[in-house]
Structure 1
Amino acid sequence: MQLKHARVRILAPVAAALAAVVIALGYSAVAYADTLFSDDFEDGNSSGWSGSGGSWSVATDGSRVLRQGGTSSDARYTAGTQSWTAYSVQARVKPTAFNGSNRFVAVLARVQSNTSYYYVALRGNNTVELKKLVNGSSTTLDSASLTVSTNTWYTVRLEVSGTSLRGYVNGTLLTEATDSQFSSGRIGVATFYGAANFDDVVVSTIGSPPTTPPTSTPPTSNPPTTGPPTNPGPNQADGWASVDAWGQNGTTGGTGGPTVTVDTAAEFLAEVATTGPRIIQVQGLIDLPGPMHDVTSDKTIIGVGSNSGFTGGGLNVGLPIDDDITAPPSNAVHNVIIRNLNFRGWDDDAINVQMFSHHIWVDHNTWTTGADGGVDVKRGSSYVTISYNHADGTDKNMLLGHDDDNSAQDVGRLKVSYHHNFFDNTNQRNPRVRFGDQVHVYNNYYLNTGNYGVASTENAGVIVEGNYFGGVDDPYHLGEGSSGDGRLVARNNCLVNSGSGQTGGSVSNPTYSYTLTPQCDVKANVTANAGAGRI
Structure 2
Amino acid sequence: MSVRRHHAALLGAVTAVAAAAAGLVGVTSSAANAASGCRVDYAVASQWEGGFVANIAITNLGDPLSNWTLGWSFGAGQTVSSGWGATFAQSGSGVTATNLSYNGSIGTGGSTSIGFQGTSGSSNPVPTAFTLNGVSCTGGVTGSPSGQPSPSRTPSPSPSPSPSPSPSQTPGGNTTGLVGWATQNGGTTGGGNAGTVTVSSASALTSAIQGTTASVVRVSGTISCSGMLKVGSNKTIVGASGATIVGCGLNVSQAKNVIIRNLIFRDWDDDAINVQYSTNVWIDHNTLSHGYDGAIDVKRASDFVTVSWNRLFNHDKTMLLGHSDDNGAEDRGHLRVTYHHNWFDGTTQRHPRVRFGNPVHVFNNYYNRNSGYGVASTVEAGVLVEGNYFENVQDPYHRGEGSSAPGNLVARNNYLVGSGSGDAGGSVASIPYSYSLDTPSSVKSVVTAGAGAR
Partner of residue 101, structure 2: 154
> In the superposition, relative to structure 1, how do residues 156 and 206 fare at CA in structure 2: closer, same or farther (>3 Å)?
farther
When structure 1 is superposed on structure 2, of 270-279 and 474-483 the one drifting more is: 270-279
> Secondary structure of the equivalent of 2:156?
strand
Give the SS at the match of 1:376.
strand
Among 342, 346, 350, the residue aligned to 2:272? 350
Percent identity of equivalent pairs: 50
Contact 1:211–1:224 under 8 Å retained in 2:
no
Q: Distance in 2 between matches of 1:337 and 1:230?
A: 20
1:528 matched to 2:419: no
Structure 1 counterpart SS, 2:203: helix
Kept after mapping to 1: 8 A contact 2:154/2:439: no
Report the equivalent of 1:228: 171
RMSD: 3.2
Between the two proteins, the alignment pairs up a number of residues equal to 334
Alignment check: 8 A CA contact 1:127 1:145 kept:
no
Deviation at 1:156, TM superposition (A): 9.7
Shift of residue 230, structure 1, vs aligned partner: 3.7
Q: Which residue of 2 aligns with 1:257?
A: 194
| DSSP 3-state at the match of 2:350 | coil
1:294 aligns to 2:230 (yes or no): yes
Which of residues 183, 203, 207 is equivalent to 1:270?
207
- Cα 1:488–1:302 shift into 2, 3 Å: same
2:179 matches 1:238: yes
Matches within 5 A, 1:110-125: none
Pair 1:279 & 2:216 matched: yes
Shift of the 498–357 alpha-carbon distance from structure 1 to 2, 3 Å rule, reads same
Aligned to 2:164: 212
The aligned amino acid for 1:337 is I
Looking at structure 2, the residues matched to 404 and 486 of structure 1 have their Cα atoms a distance apart, in angstroms, of 11
Select which of 360, 370, 390 maps to 2:281: 360
Deviation (angstroms), 1:274: 3.7
| CA deviation map 1:197-242 (0-9, x unaligned) | xxxx9962797975717xxxxxxxxx633343143231xx321001
* Residue 275 of structure 1: how far off its partner (Å): 3.5
Aligned equivalents of 1:526, 1:233: Cα separation in 2: 13
Separation in structure 2 between the aligned mates of residue 206 and residue 395 of structure 1, nearest angstrom: 27
CA 1:266/1:230 → structure 2, altered by over 3 Å: closer, same or farther?
A: same
In the superposition, relative to structure 1, how do residues 442 and 311 fare at CA in structure 2: closer, same or farther (>3 Å)?
A: same
Larger radius of gyration: 1
Q: Which residue of 2 aligns with 1:483?
A: 404
Which runs of no fewer than 5 residues in structure 1 stay unpaired?
A: 1-124, 129-142, 159-165, 178-200, 214-222, 319-331
Alpha carbons 2:181, 2:337 under 8 Å: kept: yes
Matching residue's letter, 1:434: R
With structure 2 as the length reference, what TM-score do the two structures score? Answer: 0.68
Structure number with greater CO (CA < 8 Å, separation at least 6) is 2
What is the match of residue 417 of structure 1? Answer: 338
1:333 maps to a residue whose letter is A
Residue identity matched to 1:225: S
Q: How does 1:313-332 map to 2 (within 5 A)?
A: 313-318=248-253, 332=254
Once the two structures are superposed, the pairs formed by residues 401-416 of structure 1 within 5 Å of their partners are 401-416=322-337
Q: In 2, distance between residues paired with 1:496 and 1:157?
A: 24
Q: Map 1:377-388 to 2 at 5 A.
A: 377-388=298-309
Letter in structure 1 aligned against 2:168: T
Aligned AA (2:275): V
Distance 1:334 1:284, change over 3 A: same
1:78 matched residue in structure 2 = none
Distance 2:406 2:380 in 1: 6
TM-fit CA distance, 1:408:
0.7
Alpha-carbon distance, 1:175 to partner: 3.4
Measured in 1, the distance between the counterparts of 2:353 and 2:397 equals 10
Deviations 1:390-435 (A, max 9, x none): 0112200000000111111111110000000000001000000011
TM-score, normalised on structure 1? 0.58
Structure 2 stretches of 5 or more lacking a match?
Answer: 1-25, 30-62, 70-98, 114-147
